[in-house]
Structure 1
Amino acid sequence: MSILFSILLATIAAGLISITIAATLSFKFLSAIVENMVSFSVGILLATAFLHSLPEAFEAPGVSPTTLFSFLLAGILFFFVLEKIALLRHNHHHEGDGHDHHHGHDAENAGKSGWMILVGDGLHNFVDGILIAAAFIANPGVGILTAIAIIAHEIPQEIGNFMVLLNAGFSKIRALIYNSICGLLSTIGGIVGYLYLDDSAKLIPYLMVFASSNFIYIAVSDLMPQMHRRFQLKESMKQIVLILLGVALVLSLSFVA
């Protein structure tokens, strides 16, 4: 079996398995309580960024912490501007459309930014594909283990993605289709990694930081403000517990992987 075929098989399998498991858990057990799962998603997104992606990026040899922090700042500002443009466009086209909405209704819905998480997820999957390619080129056995590890850490992240998309008004089918398309980017990353490993490997830390900036921005800018609207003590305690559960899930699967 050629190395390229092994990479293609591993990246496709990694995407399909993680998305299938996450979709099954999200749609069968979590979609009925998606409002509470927003807090769970915050824990997953922040833990993925701060405890997985960013440490890997900063531990890469030959990278400047100042440069990586600059990419993190640039990413957060980029997603702010991107969302601002989307909000202005959505507001221009839909406000005053004759429907009985309060002023800002459509802008609030657009501001949930479920679609924006697909950008970060796509980048993250692309990087995963490069990592799988690098591992297979080094040693096919290591490649298989790397794919398994990536599946393990992708499952909680994909659950978080599904919850964000459902919370933003995506139907289950639409969320599954868009997430599956993002999953295919790992295969593209695998091909790029196989063909241009040296060049693409140098970009990995910066892509991971940029993807992390997306997760951080969505959690802090879009999801946490929603949580603050439910300020009763009981609701607040539930939110804190769910955030910690999201963090614990990422940590536990990181140890397993």
Structure 2
Amino acid sequence: IIAAFVLGGLAFWGLETLLDRSKSSMAQLVAMLSDFVPEAIALGAAFATGEKAGMLLAFLIGLQNLPEGFNAFRELEVSSKLRGWKLVACLAACVPLGPIAGWIGYQHLASYPRGVDFVMLFAASGILYLTFQDLAPQARAENQRAPAIGAVLGFLLGLIGHVLLAS
């Protein structure tokens, strides 16, 4: 739990730092894909193991990804050189990543539940980091990532406490 959570937070911090330094206009798209791919892997593994909630999970993931896709489109529309159908085609090119990631989970991770757990904890930590860094602007100072990393570490401390109390 600790390794997955720490590595996820650090990986997303590093990714955002690289995007920030490169002045990339694709931060929202990268954030969306960073969330979408691990979800699809875990969803594929859930279907492979006969998880009954798979269809509901697929629906909820799709529903949650709609506003993220819309935000990525709006961010790219304002800050990139791509316009109109070229921008839509660029975003549509990302669609196959979901089925490919789902297939990987279905074929290769279904028999490794700990691997699926690791992927989901890694992604959850990264999503928590992105939420505090990008979506909670009051907790963010310009070019300061400490509040977001602090939120990840604070959540991890609570998670460790929960696991220890449940044992």
Measured against the shorter chain, the TM-score band is: 0.5 to 0.7
- 1:196 paired with 2:108, answer yes
3-state SS, counterpart of residue 25 of structure 2: coil
Which residues of structure 1 form unaligned runs of 5+?
1-62, 87-110, 226-257
What does residue range 172-187 of structure 1 map to in structure 2 within 5 Å? 172-187=84-99
Are the structure 2 counterparts of residues 154 and 120 from structure 1 closer, same or farther at C-alpha, using a change threshold of 3 Å?
same
The answer on whether the counterparts of 1:129 and 1:189 sit within 8 Å (CA) in structure 2 is yes
- 1:136 paired with 2:47, answer yes
CA distance in structure 2 between the aligned counterparts of 1:176 and 1:138, rounded to whole angstroms: 35
Query: How far does the alpha carbon of each residue in 1:5-52 deviate from its partner, in whole angstroms, 9 at most, with x for none?
Result: xxxxxxxxxxxxxxxxxxxxxxxxxxxxxxxxxxxxxxxxxxxxxxxx
Percent pairwise identity: 18
CA distance in structure 2 between the aligned counterparts of 1:141 and 1:122, rounded to whole angstroms: 25
The answer on whether the counterparts of 2:45 and 2:105 sit within 8 Å (CA) in structure 1 is yes
CA distance in structure 2 between the aligned counterparts of 1:217 and 1:184, rounded to whole angstroms: 28
Q: How far has the Cα of 1:177 moved from its partner?
A: 2.0
Correspondence for 1:157 = 68
Correspondence for 1:75 = 12
CA distance in structure 1 between the aligned counterparts of 2:86 and 2:134, rounded to whole angstroms: 19
Q: What is the aligned counterpart of 2:33 among 122, 125, 130?
A: 122
Are the structure 2 counterparts of residues 68 and 190 from structure 1 closer, same or farther at C-alpha, using a change threshold of 3 Å?
same
CA distance in structure 2 between the aligned counterparts of 1:136 and 1:67, rounded to whole angstroms: 23
Which residues of structure 2 form unaligned runs of 5+?
142-167
Q: Pairwise CA RMSD of aligned residues? A: 3.1
Q: What is the aligned counterpart of 1:207 among 104, 123, 127?
A: 123
Q: How far has the Cα of 1:119 moved from its partner?
A: 2.4
Q: How far has the Cα of 1:203 moved from its partner?
A: 2.0
Q: How far has the Cα of 1:206 moved from its partner?
A: 0.9
Correspondence for 1:238 = none
Q: How far has the Cα of 1:124 moved from its partner?
A: 1.8
Q: How far has the Cα of 1:212 moved from its partner?
A: 5.2
Q: How far has the Cα of 1:193 moved from its partner?
A: 0.3
CA distance in structure 2 between the aligned counterparts of 1:163 and 1:140, rounded to whole angstroms: 35
Higher relative contact order (CA closer than 8 Å, sequence separation 6+): 1
Are the structure 2 counterparts of residues 211 and 187 from structure 1 closer, same or farther at C-alpha, using a change threshold of 3 Å?
farther
CA distance in structure 1 between the aligned counterparts of 2:25 and 2:128, rounded to whole angstroms: 16
The answer on whether the counterparts of 2:25 and 2:75 sit within 8 Å (CA) in structure 1 is yes
Query: How far does the alpha carbon of each residue in 1:200-248 deviate from its partner, in whole angstroms, 9 at most, with x for none?
Result: 4122221343355456555679xx99xxxxxxxxxxxxxxxxxxxxxxx
The answer on whether the counterparts of 2:8 and 2:125 sit within 8 Å (CA) in structure 1 is yes
| Residue type of the alignment partner of 1:147 | A
Are the structure 2 counterparts of residues 217 and 114 from structure 1 closer, same or farther at C-alpha, using a change threshold of 3 Å?
farther
The answer on whether the counterparts of 1:127 and 1:207 sit within 8 Å (CA) in structure 2 is yes
Moved more, 74-83 or 123-132: 74-83
| Residue type of the alignment partner of 1:117 | Q
Greater helix share, 1 or 2?
A: 1
Provide TM-score, normalisation by structure 1: 0.43
